[in-house]
Amino acid sequence: MTIERTLSIIKPDATARNITGKIISKFEDAGLRVVAQKRVHWSQAQAEKFYEVHKERPFYGDLVAFMTEAPISIQVLEGEGAIAKNREVMGATNPEDAAPGTVRAEFAENIERNSVHGSDSAENAAIEIALCFDEAEIVG
């Protein structure tokens, strides 16, 4: 295993319920380290850019509206196999399929309002981290 970095977002449904700390605890308990973090309220243009890869999907408009309805908390998580580990802790995209104890099983409201986002590959992690943070904001 190599040390990786991945991008994590705690979404508006979760920031609104004041459970960012509970979610971060799950990442830290799994051995992931928060090496960058910010709380922001995305504009429509920022959300559209971040989710550009999904722009042809039927849920794109709703997803952009959801991601701009309230603040989000964005992290860079670092650790051994961080990309896969983060996805394991998050659980399946649809909370109905998420394993017990995962973030989405415990906190997600539905497939769209699913509390967290995590990069799905090393390539996307690098793209998403660069989109959200300056190199100087990432401090291990």
Binding site for ligand CMP (CB under 6 A): 54, 59, 63, 93, 111-112, 114, 117
Judged by beta carbon, residue 63 or residue 98, the one nearer ligand CMP is 63
Residue nearest ligand CMP (C-beta atom):
117
Q: For the chain, report the end-to-end CA distance as a whole number of angstroms.
A: 18
Nearest approach, Cβ of residue 139 and ligand CMP (Å): 25
CB of 29 to ligand CMP, least distance (A): 21
Of the pair 88, 140, the CB lying nearest ligand CMP is at 88
Encoded amino acid at 59, one letter: F
Alpha-carbon span 54 to 48, nearest angstrom: 9
Comparing C-alpha atoms, which of 93, 74, 88, 106 is closest to residue 29? 88
Of 96 and 140, which has the nearer Cβ to ligand CMP?
96
CB of 99 to ligand CMP, least distance (A): 16
**Out of 48, 117, 118, 132, which one is annotated catalytic?**
117
Give catalytic status of residue 117 as yes or no: yes
Tokens of 48: 């559209």
Three-state SS string across 71-126, please? CEEEEEEEEECHHHHHHHHHCCCCHHHCCCCCHHHHHCCCCCCCCEEECCCHHHHH
Least Å from the CB of residue 59 to ligand CMP? 4
Residues 6+ apart with CB under 8 A from 18: none
> Is the Cβ of residue 63 or residue 89 nearer to ligand CMP in the bound state?
63
Q: Which residues are catalytic?
A: 117
